[in-house]
Amino acid sequence: MEPEKVKQFIEAGLPGARVEVTGDGRHFEALVVSEAFEGKSLVQRHRMVMNTVNEQIASDELHALSIKAKTPAEAG
């Protein structure tokens, strides 16, 4: 799987989010900046992002995703 594809899944699940994804085909890192994270705990934010790629993880198409989830204010 390509980083761009992971980015598309996250953007589809979190409309309006700014998403940057890097990775090697199985292990990825995502920076996700979204107003939807406002007032949410870190665990809730990560769950929101993981929900966008659940199918890919379940099928092992996506093996690992490291997440940095920030609000626009936190991202600067």
Mention the CATH class of domain 3-75.
alpha beta
pLDDT of residue 3: 95
Residue 30's region, left for phi above 0, alpha for psi from -120 to 50, else beta, is beta
pLDDT in tens, 28-51: 999 999 999 999 999 999 999 999
Domain ranges of the chain: 3-75
CB–CB of 8/45 below 8 Å?
no
pTM of the model: 0.92
